[in-house]
A and B are shown apart, each in its own frame.
Chain A
Amino acid sequence: MTNSHGVSLSPRAWCKPTMLLLFLFSFLMADAQKKISGKITDVDNKEPVFGASVQVKGTAKGAMTDDKGAFTIDAAKGSTLVISSMEYETVEVKVDEASSYNITLKRSVSGLNEVVVIGYGTVKRKDLTGAIASLKGADIKTEGVSNVGRALQGKLPGVTVESAGGDPGSGTRILIRGVGTFNNADPLYIVDGVQVANINNVAPADIESMDILKDASAAAIYGSRAANGVVLVTTKSGKPGKTVIQFNANLGFQKILKKYDVLNASEWATVSNAAHDAAGLPRLAIAANPSQLGKGTDWQDAIYRTAPIQQYYLGVSGGGETAKYSMSGQYTDQDGIVDVTGYKRYGVRVKSEATKGRLKIGETVLMTRERWIRMPAGWGGQGGNPVGSATKMIPVFNIYDSTALGGYSGASGPVVNVANPVAQLHLEDISYELTSILANAFAEVSILPNLKYKFNVGYTNSFGNTDDYQRRYVVGGLFAHSTNDLSQTKERTNLVLLENTLNYNKDFGKHSLQVLAGYAYQRLKYNYWLASKTNLPDGIKELDAASGAATVGGNSTESVLLSQLGRVIYSYDNRYLLTASFRRDGSSRFGKANRYGNFPSVAVGWNLSNEKFFHADPKVLSSLKIRGSYGVLGNQEIGDYQYSAAIASNINYVIGTAQQKWFGAIQTAFASPNIKWENTETINAGIDAGFLDGKLNMSADYFTKRTTDVLLEVPIPGSAGSSENPTVNAGILQNKGFELGINYGSKVGVLNYSVYGTFSSIKNKVIELGTGSQQIFGGQPTHHGASTTLTEAGGQVSAFYLIKAEGIFQSQDEVNAYKDKNGKVIQPNASAGDIKFLDANGDGSISNSDRVNCGSPFPKFEYGLGANLSAFNFDLNIFMQGTSGNKIYNGLRQDLEGMNLEFNYSRATLNAWTPTNHSNIPRAVINDPNFNTQSSSRFLESGSYFRLKTLQIGYTIPESLNNKFKITSMRAYISADNLFTITNYSGYNPDIGRSGSILDRGVDFGHVAYPLARVVSLGIQLSL
């Protein structure tokens, strides 16, 4: 078999499933049956129940009720019909002589019958033993402008969601139960059974449910890669009966939440002159005559704009007794709040399922194309990206210069080479286009009434294409580029997944048993190509037209995972629950001796409220369950081929009279031949309780996670001579946490309301690291700043570790009096107005050895609070979320309050210390002999915040009008995202979303940020 991209699936890889299927078909047989019909209604309001499942017990035969609540099914006399529906309690009806049945269903009080997706199957919430948090499509629907990840923020206990910046089309960073690894801490994302890199391209309206597997017993069936938790996304399926057409549209505007308060031209010149005078160095020529400079250029105003965003969604779904379908298309067009930047997404999704006798076949196909227009990361200068440059660019300089090549002006003279951000945005075009295909197909056969075989093929292909076109320009005196250059990179990631599973379900007496056994093969391939050329004619953007030098490159990697898996779920009398699972994974990323990892888990549950001795009044305590689990999960998130020592090529030099290229190659880094799986052991204890007839529900979990053999790029001494740090198994990490979710729903007169809240608190600790005294420093805050975080045994992961600033020397006497025990002046270069630093080690001088622990980037707790209210035809949805106790290191403030570099400064510097103005901002001195600007606790701030994340008011047109307009329903709404944030953090956004290393967490690298936007939008949701 060959797909359009030429990736062939070898017969061995297919594991001969096709033959098996053919073999099984020939044995499909049918019994003598009679036709039965019926109608199902709600016992309270007598309304027909649409979409209820009617199943002949012990067989694969089933039907669905239509919109009149009617069904027909073939069943033998004496068999039992099982009628179930999500919101109702399940009912069983014996088939007797009658051929027509009127059945009533009672609404389930607490959602305990709700189905939870657990990976390779589903269970009802009441039978659940693991820690799983779920979000239904309905909860996502009320989001205004969003992507899927953002819809999760604060809504599920134990799930941390951070924005990955305000960049249009940027995703989110999801952490489940803290940080258990130093490597990729992303959870495993599974969309309709197939692993994907992220879920940013899934339309929120396409989501039926999201189930987050948090503890080991829930995630164990995914074994490797599941150590960071699993996010299972199930997209919408069609429902038998009426065809439903859904149309959503949304139009919004985004505006920057907060700019940095920096100086105007004359203010800057005043501070700059003071700083040069203090150092005894000549003033800058451009700063002469501050009073005549006026305001100058407001560089931030020059790049920010109010940007529109529009999103459309059209879905069609429906089906009959034997087949159902759901199809949708989505379109998003988002301009960024930074000029030029933008994002577009188109997508289609098809999901269908057909049943014939014992055979069920279905598929999901999701195709999206995303296109980003990005801003340059920097021009080799020190301003950073346009956002960073806009704060640092000296306001004396102009934006445009019509006489310059390219048309822009910029910095010149002896100042730091910060690029004109407007020029950066307009002279370099960077686009990234990502085409993603996800295809999943399965065939399921009922071999026996209770035994099903399922064959599942998953395939994803993402094709990324980056074009970077740089025009020729001369921008001021510091930036020039003499040719038009084009660089194109193409990347392809391709995943093939093959799974064979057998599922056996049987109820006998009070016993209920689900057994799963399976085998899986997964192959991940990555290819990269680069081509670039210089000197293109103006206006031409194709490589063929270039006359200059060419560069090409390319590489590829491949990894394979082979897995065997099994699971038993047993319950007795709805009282005692047991889940045990086992997965064995073999990974190509490890050497032969260490390839296989075994990941067992066991979980137990006890539905106390189903015990005879349990006599609580359901009006007070309606349900109660306790759960406990233990399990081991794996992690192999390291690069490929690390166990072998490679020779790096193209480390070239020049040789000979002709001065030609001399090809070089050698081993540049050390291998890790003994590298093996990282293991995470989780113990979880949980309690689920329902009160007040199920109106109030709460779920609480306590867990400890212990990760051993942590895969870690251990920094080795530079004197060892390696260009990279080797990845080794080096350490033990521990996370302990508590999570709580509560919701309450009720009705007062015409007002329906529900409120919900989540709370989670996680604490991590490094138990062991590297060679014992291993210290890992990270978190570079500025272009040149020293590291700010330290990870070492006994401490927290990436704790802030800084020299302590202890206020300002008010006089030279204070400087001279600050001595160590031997009478040595500790800060000999200091003068009045400089910062006093703590000599923590008492050695009489200030150095890196004086750094002390100053707090953690991880919050003590996180919380979310939401409410949904509806009355008459109006609804109000409000959601708030926050963190408490975390610290943020403000790198941009370190730059802007420094007054030691020749660029613009923060407004706070106007209040710099002088003999007559004793303030808490040190004196302006351009050579900074006392290192006032060094990385220190001075720039560490509280990161706690409370944010009104979403406020939405909707109106649904009265049902009486629906017939008139021939629609099913219509709702219009106005929505605001990020309406306000209460925080003491002075940077753009306390939800900083720095991607990359976990060791940089909590370090706001404003140098290359993209600030967050406030979004106000209008939308409609129309069902036909």
Chain B
Amino acid sequence: MNKIFFAIATTVVMAGCSSKNLDLTNPNKITTETFWKNEADVQSAFAATYGLFKNVDGGYWGVRGVELSNGRGDDFFIRNDVSYLYQLSTFTNTPDNAAANNVFNISYRAIFRANQILENIDKVSGLDDTKKKQYIAEAKFLRGLNYYILAVNFGAVPLRTTVPVATADYFIPVSAEPEIWAQVIKDFTEAAVDLPLSYSATDLGRATKGAALGFLGKSYVYLKDWPNAETTLKQLTVAPFTYQLMSNYGDNFTVANDNNIESLFEIQLADVGGTNPWAGENANESLGVTTAQEFAPSEVSGWFEVSPTDKLFNEFQKEKTTTNELDPRMYATLMWDYPGATFYNKPFSDFSLQFGYQSMYKKYQNYTKDNELTGSNGGSYTSNINEKALRYADVLLLLSEAVTMQSRPADAYPYITMVRNRAQLPALTAGLDETLMMAEIRHQRMLEFAREGQRFYDLKRWGLLQQELTNSDKVGKQFYVVNKHDYFPIPQDEINSNSKAEQNSYWK
């Protein structure tokens, strides 16, 4: 009898709940096995790749990216608030610099995502050949642009064109800077072939053939490959392309003129989605940027993190317009104490200049509103003015440079004149030689692209960093070390976690 009890009890007790109970699937997310099935999957993969450009921590056109790309210029001051920004702007940055590290990491996140699109596009059903080619071209454009960002800022970096499969694939050495540029040229070249000239209203804002050619031409300029730069950029001045300068320079930096005729590529920003710009990559993230709020004066709820230097303020006043006025670009770029100056619907006298400099940045600020506190959708500190990544004015000035550098300064006149005319400047003296034409191009680039992340990189490729920093009122200029500060060091985190990565020799 007892044995029976024991047997029964044991059987019942040990007869398990089945091990099927252990088969649980993630209720929150689909997996890679169920993704990459249709065109909608590809579309959403692109959104996730483009979106990184505006990333608040390290997107190249997000607030930290803008501070990083402008911060080292002789035209730009960053105040001692966020210490890593102050350090990079005063050439006292270390390999731990958070802004540089985030730009590095975010660029590689975008490359990882672009590589995923390239590797999985074949699994997607229902794509015709043209569509597929177009998507491949678009992914290559995105990968190329991210390598461009890495090349100009870091030089030699790891080169990844595939998705890591095994753990060992995470660790790869850095490739020399020319190899990175070769990839940039290859990606932009291939992208330009299959990208469309334009998009429908619903898809406006994605990479076009013009964007790919523009960045390709710009890359040739960085490589000092003047003939290729010229032929590439020249294509953009003729049909089928229809790029033109906006008649009013300042219109480039207002919400009303997003995606205008002067824009080859811009970062799409709007106060839609969530309401929190610091939420990370999720539904709560607001899809604008906080740059305008961080740059705005304290009187309109800004954090006045940056300021133009007086070198820039003075450079604008070197040449007057045909009507003997100040350059209209100065009025669009800066705010200072001039008769009738109003900013955020307040007289300039309501504001105070905090750093001893004579002006503040106006470009990309929402100065027609009362303050920078709330975006249109209630998102905190959110600005929705699209950041222009490449303007036609840049194409024209790069083209001027490409021909001038081939000792044909006369050929630069038509292009540089368009830029000057828009600024209502008098006709350029005829017969400038190569040196004088280059000086004029440099002067125009400094004015045209202030706060657009070009100045430091222009000076670097012209070999003028030392000279121009020295003759400026840039804080921290005494800490600039030739060669060393031309690049950011490979992030310490990358060196720490990647035994194959070697630090830039100037930073060892």
Task: Write the residues of chain A forming the contact surface with B, with a CB cutoff of 8 angstroms.
Answer: 12-13, 15-17, 19-20, 23-24, 27, 281-282, 380, 382, 412-417, 447-448, 451, 453, 474, 477-478, 480-483, 498, 500-502, 517-519, 521, 523, 530, 532, 534-535, 548-549, 551-553, 555-560, 562, 564, 586-588, 592, 595, 640-641, 644-668, 670-671, 715-723, 728, 771-775, 777, 784, 786-787, 829, 843, 847-849, 900-902, 926-929, 931, 934
Question: Chain B contacts of A656 at CB under 8 A?
Answer: 201-205
Q: Is the CB of B90 within 8 A of A717?
A: no
Q: A659-B384, A718-B104, A784-B82 are in contact. Are A652 and B47 (CB under 8 A)?
A: yes
Q: Is the CB of A13 within 8 A of B29?
A: no
Residue of B nearest to A790 (CB): B496
Q: How far is the CB of A728 from chain B (nearest CB, A)?
A: 7
Question: Chain A contacts of B104 at CB under 8 A?
Answer: 718-719
A717 contact from B46, B171, B374, B378, Cβ within 8 A: B171
List 30 interface pairs A-B (beta carbons < 8 Å), by A numbering. A15-B13, A15-B15, A15-B16, A20-B12, A20-B13, A27-B5, A414-B304, A414-B354, A448-B2, A480-B371, A532-B275, A551-B275, A551-B284, A558-B27, A562-B16, A564-B16, A586-B19, A655-B203, A659-B272, A663-B47, A664-B44, A666-B44, A668-B281, A721-B112, A722-B109, A771-B499, A775-B497, A784-B83, A927-B80, A931-B92
Is the C-beta of B158 less than 8 angstroms from some C-beta in chain A? yes
Complex Cα distance, B17 from A413, in Å, reads: 67
Question: Chain A contacts of B170 at CB under 8 A?
Answer: 716-717, 720
Q: Is the CB of B496 within 8 A of A775?
A: yes
Q: Is the CB of B41 within 8 A of A517?
A: no
Q: A414-B354, A667-B116 are in contact. Are A786 and B494 (CB under 8 A)?
A: no
Q: How far is the CB of A634 from chain B (nearest CB, A)?
A: 15
Stretch at the interface among B95-103, B211-219, B455-463: B95-103
Q: Is the CB of A447 within 8 A of B5?
A: yes
Residue of A nearest to B79 (CB): A414
Interface string of B81-116 (1 = CB under 8 A from A): 111101000101011101001001100111111011
B48 contact from A27, A480, A666, Cβ within 8 A: A666
Is the C-beta of B507 less than 8 angstroms from some C-beta in chain A? yes
Complex Cα distance, B275 from A553, in Å, reads: 13
Is the C-beta of B196 less than 8 angstroms from some C-beta in chain A? no
Is the C-beta of B324 less than 8 angstroms from some C-beta in chain A? no
Complex Cα distance, B28 from A556, in Å, reads: 7
Residue of B nearest to A556 (CB): B27
Interface string of B55-93 (1 = CB under 8 A from A): 000000000000000000000000111111010001010
Q: How many A-B residue pairs have CB under 8 A?
A: 357
B32 contact from A647, A715, A900, Cβ within 8 A: A647
Task: Write the residues of chain B forming the contact surface with A, with a CB cutoff of 8 angstroms.
Answer: 2, 5-6, 8-10, 12-19, 21-32, 34-35, 41, 43-51, 54, 79-84, 86, 90, 92, 94-96, 98, 101, 104-105, 108-113, 115-116, 157-158, 160, 164, 167, 169-172, 201-206, 258-259, 268-270, 272-276, 278, 281-285, 287, 298-299, 301, 303-304, 354-356, 371, 373-374, 377-380, 384, 475-476, 479, 491-494, 496-499, 501, 507-508
Question: Chain B contacts of A549 at CB under 8 A?
Answer: 274-275, 377-379
Q: Is the CB of A482 within 8 A of B206?
A: no
Question: Chain A contacts of B31 at CB under 8 A?
Answer: 644-647
Question: Chain B contacts of A502 at CB under 8 A?
Answer: 9-10, 13
Complex Cα distance, B205 from A478, in Å, reads: 34
Question: Chain A contacts of B303 at CB under 8 A?
Answer: 417, 478
B258 contact from A501, A659, A666, Cβ within 8 A: A659
Complex Cα distance, B47 from A656, in Å, reads: 12
Complex Cα distance, B493 from A774, in Å, reads: 12
Q: Is the CB of A551 within 8 A of B48?
A: no
Complex Cα distance, B41 from A664, in Å, reads: 9
Question: Chain B contacts of A648 at CB under 8 A?
Answer: 29, 48, 281
Residue of B nearest to A657 (CB): B201
Complex Cα distance, B48 from A843, in Å, reads: 43
A718 contact from B8, B105, B116, B273, Cβ within 8 A: B105
Q: Is the CB of B27 within 8 A of A650?
A: no
Complex Cα distance, B497 from A777, in Å, reads: 9
Complex Cα distance, B8 from A640, in Å, reads: 36
A416 contact from B81, B158, B204, Cβ within 8 A: B81
Complex Cα distance, B184 from A173, in Å, reads: 51
Q: Is the CB of B50 within 8 A of A665?
A: no
Which 3 A-B residue pairs are closest in the complex by CB-CB distance?
A: A721-B112, A664-B47, A664-B48
Question: Chain A contacts of B476 at CB under 8 A?
Answer: 927
A447 contact from B6, B492, B499, Cβ within 8 A: B6
Q: A480-B373, A716-B497, A721-B109 are in contact. Are A647 and B304 (CB under 8 A)?
A: no
Question: Chain B contacts of A588 at CB under 8 A?
Answer: 21-24
Q: How far is the CB of B115 from chain A (nearest CB, A)?
A: 8
Q: A447-B5, A480-B301, A652-B51 are in contact. Are A661 and B273 (CB under 8 A)?
A: yes
Q: A551-B283, A640-B24 are in contact. Are A453 and B268 (CB under 8 A)?
A: no
Q: How far is the CB of B349 from chain A (nearest CB, A)?
A: 17
Q: Is the CB of B94 within 8 A of A931?
A: yes
Q: A655-B203, A849-B508 are in contact. Are A719 and B108 (CB under 8 A)?
A: yes
